[in-house]
Amino acid sequence: MASIFQKAARLLNIGKARHIVGYDLAGNAYLELPSLHGSTDPRHTRRMIQWKEKMHHGEYDQRSLPVQWTMWLRHTRRDPPSIHELEQDRARIEMVQHNARVLAIRDQEERQRLQQLRLEEHNLAKQRAQQQKLVASRSAAGAVPTSTVQDVQAEAERQRRVAYEESDPDPQTLHPRGTAEGSDAAFRQERVPDNDVWAASRARLAQQGHAPAPPEVSQAASAPASASAAAAAAAAAAASASASSATADPQQQQELSSPILDAVQRRKAKRAEFESEESERERARREMSKSPLEAFVPVAKPRR
């Protein structure tokens, strides 16, 4: 009965039906009633909805209302929406949902394709690894160990060297090359220490006073391994004589000490520069630590 009376009121445009401004796609009517205080301002009108289906107030779902009508009910939209506008908005929503479903399907297919490719690559890599492992095991089974491989020339040279060193009881006795005794002397390892460097270092330290003067000792043990015992003694005597003459010659001492003195002077200059910079930093720290009130000189007040 109520629906019949509502239809009749709408047809006759009586009651609240004359305040209906529009409908939504679900058939709900929207009304705009005048203000109760008699205000003619459109912002003070009463806007409400007349549901198509009569239910309890707690059973209505306001989330199902179109956004355009919700804005109109809250006075954030001046003009009510039309049916054509609501249909266009519904078509737009359906198109967006359709595109979203299509993109989701494409994304799922792409993920499955990439997963299949990764699985195939993994299987191929696994097969290659198994083949390489099989080939390596076969080659290791038929390979010759490196410890059994011998170089004939290297082995013969080693045998000659060992036999010659065992036949010569004195390791410092060498035979000149080209003779019958020294035909295999080329295979001997000669170790010749460079004592001139140590002699010069000891002389420089003795000149600076950090070490005593180098004693005149025999240098027979450090003679070249390619001379005889008498020649080694003579060479040691000549080396000691040259070292003593180097320490006795003042000109050579001056030549040795001049670079050292230059280095000492440079170090002193750097040290003085560092000390001056450090003193300047200390003065700056003292100035920065002072109170700003110290800049003002106190003025003595006159006595009354």
Give the pLDDT confidence score for residue 239 in this predicted structure.
55
Q: Are residues 7 and 64 in the same domain?
A: yes
Measured CA to CA, the distance from residue 233 to residue 227 in angstroms comes to 10
Domain count, the chain: 3
Sheet holding 29-33, edge to edge: 20-23, 29-33, 46-50
The total of other beta-carbon atoms located within 10 Å of residue 24's CB is 19
Give the pLDDT confidence score for residue 221 in this predicted structure.
39
Asked whether residue 190 is domain-assigned, the answer is no
Picking from 44, 64, 81, the residue at the C-terminal end of a domain is: 81
pLDDT at 87 exceeding the cut of 90: yes
Asked whether residue 135 is domain-assigned, the answer is no
Range of the domain at 88: 82-129
Q: Are residues 23 and 93 in the same domain?
A: no
- Tell me the pLDDT tens digit for each residue of 112-150: 999 999 999 999 999 999 999 988 888 776 655 555 556
Mean pLDDT of the chain: 75
Name the residue among 52, 78, 85, 7 with its Cα closest to residue 61: 52
Q: Are residues 93 and 70 in the same domain?
A: no
